[in-house]
Every structure is written in C-alpha cells, then in structure tokens.
C-alpha cells in the first residue's frame, strides 16, 4: 500500500470517528465534514497518477485495474476497542463502506 493512501485513509477514519461521537457537541457539523472531505479530495487529486482533469470513467477504469489499493481501516474507541471497520477500495470512487456499524450510536 502506498504511504499517501494510508495517510488519507487515516484522515477519513479520524473524521468518521469524530462523527460517531456520542456527545453531540463533539461531533463536527455537516459543513465542517464537507470542508474536511473537500480538503482530502484535493490532496488525493494531487497524488502522482491522479489528474484532476480525468473523466470519472477513466478514473474508475484506472483504479479498478489496481486491486492492491484496497485496505481496511479499524476505527478504535478511547479504550482501544474496534468500534468500526471501514473497507476502502479505490475502485469505489473514493467512497468508504462501513463493514461493522457502530452499535453505541444514537
């Protein structure tokens, strides 16, 4: 796995963990989430091989051709327990799929 890809996944996982906070005041607003995700997408567009002017079909084709870009990120609680696992695969057009939902949510 490329180092930049792991750092991006960690940023997304950290944002997801903040969104799952039991205390409403600790959760970011939707505007804050959107701004952070836009920043992450901007970083992803600057990575080698990523061209912002690429068409979505071209990006899908190129990402699907590289199965080694898939990984799972565990989001851990304050005591180290895994509260959510996120499966990230670049062929999903920069989307994350939650494999195990957070059971202590609202």
Q: Residue 58: what pLDDT?
A: 65
User: Distance between CA 17 and CA 74 in Å, rounded?
Assistant: 10
Neighbouring-strand partners of residue 105: none
- SS3 of 25, please? helix
Domain boundaries, the chain: 3-100
pLDDT tens-digit readout, 37-75: 988 888 877 765 544 555 666 666 655 655 555 667 777
Q: State the pTM of this model.
A: 0.43
Mean pLDDT of the chain: 71
77 backbone dihedrals φ, ψ, rounded to 5° = -80, 180
Residue 75: how many other CB atoms lie within 10 Å: 20
């Amino acid at each position: 796995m490329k180092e930049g890809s792991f750092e991006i996944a960690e940023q997304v996982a950290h944002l997801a963990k903040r969104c799952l906070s039991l205390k409403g005041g600790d959760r970011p607003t939707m505007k804050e989430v959107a701004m952070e995700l836009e920043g992450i997408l901007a970083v992803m567009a600057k990575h080698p091989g990523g061209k912002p002017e690429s068409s979505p079909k071209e990006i899908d084709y190129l990402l699907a051709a590289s199965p080694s870009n898939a990984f799972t990120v565990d989001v851990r609680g304050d005591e180290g327990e895994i509260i959510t696992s996120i499966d990230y695969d670049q062929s999903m057009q920069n989307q994350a799929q939650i494999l195990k939902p957070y059971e202590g949510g609202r």
